Amino acid sequence: MISITDRPGLAASVRCWPSRVVTMISAMTIPVRTICLSLAGAGRKGQDGGHGCDAICSHQNRGARMRVVHQFAPAMSAMIASLPGVTSAEHIPLDQRWNLPTDADVLFVLHGEGDSRSHDEGLPRPAGWPGSVRLVQIASAGIDDYPTWLFDAPQVATASGTTARPIAEYALAVMLNHAKRLPTITLNAGDEWPTREMQMDKPLASLEGRTLGLLGLGQIARQVARFAAAFDMTIIATRASDAPSPDPNVTLVPLPELVARADHLVIAAPIGASTRGLLGADLLGRMKPDAHIVNVARGAIIDTDALRAQFDAGRLWASLDVTDPEPLPPGHWLFAHPRARITPHLSWSSSETMRRVFERLAENIRRLQAGEPLLGAV
């Protein structure tokens, strides 16, 4: 991850953000204010080579030529416009998010919110697309919820890696929650206090010595592996490529062996033709009866009907941050099943997420101007 403080020009630009911009960002649910605060120690004048912030900003704005259009909160426009080389930043309302202009240089786009690439007929291609657009920066790591025509732009980049840590933290949290049975052992009244004999009859589980299976070995899975190694877990993985394991603690195994050995199986693979419905009746049936599945990828990687059959047979447990369909309709059986725990696709969320995504945009704008390879290029 490239930090804003690693780029002197960009850091200077951030120091120039007026207090009203910080106030606007603070009013949003995007904690980018931390970017400003991290640079506060540099001061507003006299600590940037003899130039105050006004001088720096004036210098940066000379020769600026990029127009950025984004789908985030309107208050983010001022922050984006302050980046070196950016002339203006304009907001597109979410209800018009695919009404994209073709006279911009950079598009900073949000998640498709269910506008799947398999439903392009509902997302008409803008006339003249991609026009003058040079870069489409996607705010998510996955690309399956965007219209196909979006990728006809000269360069498209994702935010891959920016959410790896919070997603890995989520995976470890639900694994610990499952092992320690936190919902079950939480007391609501004094008369629920268990006897010592009851505690010994059903001791809490441990992650130590358990086998963690990783379906996929991208940045998220590798971060999960680093955390799991601290718990002395045995870590195995299956990946699509033939590349060797990038982590000495992770042993690559075939998929059938992965599901058969895993006590906890973390799904962190991209969705595609080879992974859609991959965990069906056959592979789910090979898993240990008490195995725990954690899905932080895409819900459709698991055959939901096959998973229900396993649950109803008294087999498997699952912590699902993603589902198929998503969102689940009211009354869906997964909400009430005792073997499933559902969260609303929030494993990516953290106080640092939007700062990291914004840093990715800033760095890729710099790279675009410098003719350097983009981070997260598709």
Contact assessment for residue 163 and residue 141, using Cβ atoms and an 8 Å cutoff: yes
- Give the pLDDT of residue 112: 54
- What pLDDT was estimated at residue 24? 35
Catalytic residue among 222, 292, 298, 356: 298
CATH number attached to the domain at 164-342: 3.40.50.720
Which string of DSSP letters, residue by residue, matches 274-323?
Answer: TTTT-B-HHHHHHS-TT-EEEE-S-GGGB-HHHHHHHHHTT--EEEESS-
Q: Is 345 a catalytic residue?
A: yes
Is this prediction's pTM over 0.75? yes
Q: Are the folds of 4-162+351-370 and 164-342 the same?
A: yes
Nearest to 211 by CA among 267, 286, 261, 279: 261
pLDDT at 197: 61
Cα distances (Å, whole numbers) of residue 338 to 75, 171, 184, 302: 43, 19, 11, 18
Nearest to 72 by CA among 87, 57, 91, 88: 91
The one catalytic residue in 90, 257, 326, 352 is: 326
Active-site entry in 125, 286, 345, 366: 345
Strands 66-70 and 106-109: parallel
Q: What is the pLDDT of residue 119?
A: 43
- Is 298 tagged catalytic? yes
Per-residue pLDDT tens digits of the chain, which is 378 residues long: 444 444 444 444 443 333 333 333 333 444 433 333 333 333 333 333 333 333 333 334 334 479 999 988 899 899 999 999 899 999 998 778 778 888 899 999 986 554 444 444 457 888 899 999 999 999 998 888 888 899 999 999 999 999 999 999 999 999 999 999 998 888 888 777 877 666 767 899 999 999 999 999 999 999 999 999 999 999 999 999 999 999 999 999 999 999 999 999 999 999 999 999 999 999 999 999 999 999 999 999 999 999 999 999 999 999 999 999 999 999 999 999 999 999 999 999 999 998 999 999 999 999 999 999 999 999
CATH topology of domain 4-162+351-370: Rossmann fold (3.40.50)
Domain ranges of the chain: 4-162+351-370, 164-342
Q: How far, in Å, CA of 110 to CA of 129, rounded?
A: 18
